[in-house]
Amino acid sequence: MRISTRQRQARLGLRHRLVRKAATPEEAAASVVALHGTDPATVFLSAGARLAAPGPEPVERALYSAHTLVRMTGMRRTIFVVPAELVPVVHHSSGLAIARKERALMLKTFGEGGWDAAALDDVAAAVLKAVAQTGAATAAELGALEPRLREQVRVAVGKPYEGVVSLGSRLLFVMALDGLLVRRARASGTWVNGTHRWDLAPEIAELAVHDAQAELVRRWLTAFGPGTESDVKWWTGWTLKDVRRALAATGAVPVELDEGVGHVLPDDLAEVQEPEPWAALLPALDPTPMGWQGRDWYLSQAHRAELFDRSGNVGPTVWWDGRVVGGWAQRPDGEIVWRLLSDVGADARTAIEAEAAGLAAWLGDVRVTPRFRTPLERVLSMTPSG
């Protein structure tokens, strides 16, 4: 069976809630498996692009009050915001494997200073006790309660990127990967503030690694299918062996794509009805453009140099009917400006302008600068529209 590029674009718009909007942030996050959380603003902007009533309040409530969305490190050692029910799946499929590598690296980094596994475990126990007694705290506050967290070592000595790292910066990260700590409420400021408080993590349900990997791939295929083995391998960060095992466990069916052999779930072979043309302004690191390794079917090679940084991070993108057609930025005065990289016609321009106005309205006085700046975003952020 063959699935056309046009069908893939229709699936993208419908399933990623860019056509029929979600009622809640949890539904928005689940539509793309998880929201990227490396840049704190991305979480709110990605949810807003998919919500019928966008705004920061419901996202903050889900993250910091209801805890129905959870910030955690997962696939590709990337920070994601995931629906709470998906935490065990991400933890056992990806987080624990990363934790083992990070713990070994931490021991190597601090070993020369006399730290061994027992000493690090002792500090970790002291941190857990402090959080249990005082409640959620920032890394700086924990450093005051447990001074050993502030100990530093110099790394990459003699290299251009030589620097100093603190024990706390590594240990708290590993403790979160182990499922002991969780990033909870932000410390202060607006929702674009990335400083957070560490809290004790709820108990994470046990799940076999292979079962967790199969469930994560099932959810990825539901949201992003069809996709190739290479797409799944890139998105998860797993070995090809793990990817193939997980695909087999889901019963994934091979289909023909322009890029080669793709995979869909066995109950997902029917064509979807194409929606009316739609426009969207998605933020830097949004999970939709970052969902596949092979991007030619929705993003022209000619546009990538302007829309991505040198590390492969996507900037803010303008979408029309399933394709990336330009980029956008917010100027210091709050204006949302955008530039098309493809000729899309007057109807598209009208729809994109409406999306930009809606985004500006709910952002209000908040100013958003992506953590990873891209060439077009830099230019647009200082260029008036018109």
Least confident of 77-81, 182-186, 243-247: 182-186
Highest mean pLDDT among 75-89, 105-119, 159-173: 75-89
Residue 190, pLDDT score: 81
Q: What is the DSSP string of 125-186?
A: HHHHHHHHHH-SB-HHHHHHHSGGGG-EEEESTTSTT-EEEEHHHHHHHHHHHTTSEEEEEE
**Mean per-residue pLDDT, 305-326:** 97
Can you tell me the distance from the alpha carbon of 278 to that of 280, in angstroms, rounded to the nearest whole number? Answer: 7
Taking 70 as the threshold, does the pLDDT of residue 383 lie above it?
A: no
Q: Is residue 162 part of a domain?
A: yes
Confidence class for position 164, pLDDT limits 50, 70, 90:
confident
% pLDDT > 90, the chain? 90
Q: Is residue 84 part of a domain?
A: no
Residue 313, pLDDT score: 96
Q: Is residue 169 part of a domain?
A: yes
CB distance 171 to 127 below 8 Å:
yes
CATH of the domain at 106: 1.10.10
Q: Tokens 């106005």 identify what position?
A: 357
Confidence class for position 6, pLDDT limits 50, 70, 90:
very high
Can you tell me the distance from the alpha carbon of 161 to that of 111, in angstroms, rounded to the nearest whole number? Answer: 20
Taking 70 as the threshold, does the pLDDT of residue 353 lie above it?
A: yes
CB distance 337 to 5 below 8 Å:
no
Confidence class for position 161, pLDDT limits 50, 70, 90:
confident
Q: Is residue 332 part of a domain?
A: no
- Tell me which residue of 154, 152, 100, 149 sits closest to 122, measured CA to CA: 149
Q: Is residue 155 part of a domain?
A: yes
Structure tokens belonging to residue 344: 């899309």
Mean per-residue pLDDT over the chain, rounded: 95
Angle, in degrees to the nearest 10, between helices 117-134 and 167-177: 80
- Tell me which residue of 256, 255, 272, 273 sits closest to 264, measured CA to CA: 255
**Domains held by the chain: number:** 1
10 Å CB burial of residue 114 (0-12, 13-18, 19+) is: exposed
Confidence class for position 91, pLDDT limits 50, 70, 90:
very high
10 Å CB burial of residue 1 (0-12, 13-18, 19+) is: exposed
Can you tell me the distance from the alpha carbon of 106 to that of 148, in angstroms, rounded to the nearest whole number? Answer: 14
Residue 112, pLDDT score: 78
Residue 187, pLDDT score: 61
Can you tell me the distance from the alpha carbon of 201 to that of 207, in angstroms, rounded to the nearest whole number? Answer: 17
Residue 334, pLDDT score: 94
Q: How far is CA 3 from the centre of its chain?
A: 27
Taking 80 as the threshold, does the pLDDT of residue 128 lie above it?
A: yes
The domain of 129 spans 96-200
Taking 60 as the threshold, does the pLDDT of residue 14 lie above it?
A: yes
Residue 159, pLDDT score: 80
- How confident is the model over 169-215, as pLDDT tens digits? 999 999 999 999 999 866 667 888 878 899 999 999 999 999 999 99
Residue 113, pLDDT score: 78
Taking 70 as the threshold, does the pLDDT of residue 3 lie above it?
A: yes
User: Residue 153 phi/psi, 5° resolution?
Assistant: -135, 155
Residue 248, pLDDT score: 98
Within a 13 Å sphere around the CA of 211, how many CA atoms are in the beta-carbon half?
A: 6
- How confident is the model over 34-50, as pLDDT tens digits? 999 999 999 999 999 99
The DSSP code for 354 is H
Residues 6+ apart with CB under 8 A from 191: 40, 41, 44, 56, 59, 60, 366
Q: Is residue 261 part of a domain?
A: no
Confidence class for position 253, pLDDT limits 50, 70, 90:
very high
Q: Is residue 131 part of a domain?
A: yes
Residue type, 350: T
C-alpha angle 158-160-161 in degrees, rounded to nearest 5 = 100
Q: Is residue 237 part of a domain?
A: no
Residue 284, pLDDT score: 98
